[in-house]
Amino acid sequence: MARTGWNGSRGIGMFGIVRPCTHRLSEGLRTEWMAHLCGLCLALRADHGQFARIVTNYDGLIVSVLTEAQTGAMPAGRRTAGPCPLRAMRTAPVAMGEGARLAAAVSLVLASAKVRDHVADRDGLLARRPVAAAARRVAAGWDRAGARTGAALGFDTALLVDAVDRQTGIETLAGPGTPLLTVTEPTETATAAAFTHTAVLAGKPQNAAPLAEAGRLFGRLAHLLDAVEDREADAASGAWNPLTVTGTSLTEARRLCDDALHGVRLALREVEFTDGQLVHVLLAHELRRSVDRAFGTSSCSHQGLEVPEGSFGPPPGNPYGPTPGSPYGPTPGNPYGPTPGGPAAPPPPRPPRDRRGLIAGCLVWAGLACTCQLCCGSYEDPWSGERREAPCQSCGDCCEACDCCGQCGEGCCCCGDSCGCDC
């Protein structure tokens, strides 16, 4: 009886429902997002050893992002990490501190629950007793480790463990006609507790109530989207799926998801952020794209994007000339055109990229291949450092208009560094 929870029934590893396409993030937001992702990974390693890094996930880093958004980024909250294969063996600033450690504790406890579920379901190799026994020991170790870190931060991970335990009982009793939100309640409770504690760490108790509501609805979305994505596979394998067991249609599931999306945005409006830009992008825009992706209503467009003629650039027929009536057109002896107060200088040459040698590049390429970045992610070319996209990279529509901004470009939080949204 396969179960579905906050991080779903996906395998342990780089999982989660909020997976932003890097083409939709500005350079600054992309750096910040990676800082929190790497910060979670390194917090797991620092407190719990190398093997614990396997539970790094995209949704867990939101806990770190929420904590920092309430306090504001400070120099003491960043450090420079060493080279990593997932960063093409380059250094990068990473988040550190209580937010990253809380994200690590939550990820460990929920990953432990996932392992126990797979053992109970006798999935794959876990059907063998020696493997199942080893998995139980790993899960128990993660429970203890998460509890230690949580206690150091004033967070009782027993709240998460209790929610996971209740999930099993609820699913056992569920059947046709059972309200779907009854099944998602334990997941909602777990995420609400994690979101709420970020207000405690940030020293802003007034944020606890709206963050609890945002966390509850985020947990509902995580549970529902996982059920939608696994629906066909679960039907083929005979695994337990909340939509199938309760007789809930995809139309009703989409309605519940849309209501939860709206609720998350309303709750975030009540939170006092010092810098909530990344939170807004992840929980207002990317979360909606996650829903569209799960229900098959969006597709990736950053590769092979066809741009209508004349959409950008100078008028057709004179690609290098000035627009009619422009006072800044080229003049003899000044091909770049004058500017008010004097002639304009030519644009500065682009600095040369730091290229690796043949052997170093091959080593980085091997690291990227071994970590699946060459086929399933964004990465920097091992030799030139140019940004590359993997052939199977999956994301939402990269250049669609923001539903709350009504625009896409410099003023959009998805594509630029500023946001004029009111959501």
Q: What is the pLDDT of residue 311?
A: 35
Q: What is the pLDDT of residue 309?
A: 38
pLDDT, tens digit, for every residue of 57-72?
888 899 999 999 999 8
CA 94 and chain centroid, separation? 15
Q: What is the pLDDT of residue 305?
A: 38
Phi, psi of 62, deg, nearest 5? -60, -30
Q: What is the pLDDT of residue 251?
A: 95
Q: Which of 160, 157, 272 is nearest to 210 (CA)?
A: 272
Q: What is the pLDDT of residue 83?
A: 86
Phi, psi of 343, deg, nearest 5? -70, 150
The pLDDT tens digits along the chain (423 residues) read: 444 444 443 333 345 788 887 677 888 898 899 999 999 999 999 888 888 888 888 888 999 999 999 998 887 788 888 888 777 778 888 998 899 999 999 999 888 888 887 787 777 778 888 888 999 999 889 999 999 999 999 999 998 988 888 988 898 899 999 999 999 999 999 999 999 999 999 999 999 999 999 999 999 999 999 999 989 988 988 888 999 999 999 999 999 999 999 999 999 999 999 999 999 999 999 999 999 999 987 655 444 433 343 333 444 444 444 444 444 444 454 444 444 555 555 555 555 545 666 666 677 666 666 555 555 555 666 666 666 655 444 444 443 434 444 434 334 444 444 444 555
The whole-angstrom separation of Cα 240 and Cα 247 is 12
As a 3-state breakdown, the chain gives helix, strand, coil percent values, each rounded to 5, of 55, 5, 40
What domains can be seen in the chain, in order of their start residue? 22-294 (1.10.600.10), 359-389 (no CATH)
Which amino acid is it at 389? Answer: E
Q: What is the pLDDT of residue 84?
A: 84
CA-to-CA separations, 376 to 20, 63, 201, 323, 392, in angstroms, rounded: 13, 25, 35, 43, 6
Q: What is the pLDDT of residue 359?
A: 63
The whole-angstrom separation of Cα 325 and Cα 46 is 62
The whole-angstrom separation of Cα 58 and Cα 18 is 6
